[in-house]
Amino acid sequence: MENNDFEHKILARMDKFEQRIEKRIEKLEKNQLSSNEPTISQGNIKKLSIKEFLMTKKVDDDVKRTLVIAYFIEHMENIMPFNTDDLKKAFRLAKIPLPLNINDKINMNIRGGRIMEAEEKKDSKKAWELTATGENIVETELTK
């Protein structure tokens, strides 16, 4: 008989504990939704545009600009690997004139160890990805 009383008390405590947890969760959810801070679920967070991203970087030539745009493509758009079509589209979205020879700018970054050729082609075209050096340069050296 004592065992049944003990089990009953434990179950009653667990039930009260669960009710307290449910009330706290409801309160937290209510506070989050009534908050003035934007949340992702409310759709108020605006994604950084490529143009805005470029404004945060020191880019004074097309080689650096190509590197920064490649970084944006990989890290902000989650496109890996990227090809010339991706770069051209990004230049247009940034409203920046396309370099006369974008492949030349890529090759200059390859020679500098900032970009490397990807193992596989993308859409039947040669593709590239950033190296750790290239990522580091964009994140540290080119920051305004």
Q: Return the CATH number at 75.
A: 1.10.10.10
Half-sphere exposure in the Cβ direction for 20 (13 Å, CA): 6
Do 34 and 68 lie in one domain? The reply is no
Do 60 and 121 lie in one domain? The reply is yes
Q: Is the pLDDT of residue 24 over 50?
A: yes
Residues of the domain holding 65 = 50-141
What distance in Å separates the CA atoms of residue 131 and residue 110, rounded to the nearest whole number?
Answer: 9
Q: Is the pLDDT of residue 95 over 70?
A: yes
Residues 53-92 have pLDDT tens digits of 999 999 999 999 999 999 999 999 999 999 999 999 999 9
Do 85 and 133 lie in one domain? The reply is yes
Cβ-based neighbour number of residue 78 at 10 Å: 7
**Percentage of residues in the chain with pLDDT exceeding 70?**
81
Do 57 and 119 lie in one domain? The reply is yes
| Lookup: tokens for 121 | 């082609």
CA-CA distances (angstroms) from residue 58 to 49, 55, 134, 135?
16, 8, 14, 14
Structural domains counted in the chain? 2
Do 21 and 62 lie in one domain? The reply is no
Q: Is the pLDDT of residue 11 over 90?
A: no
What distance in Å separates the CA atoms of residue 94 and residue 52, rounded to the nearest whole number?
Answer: 8
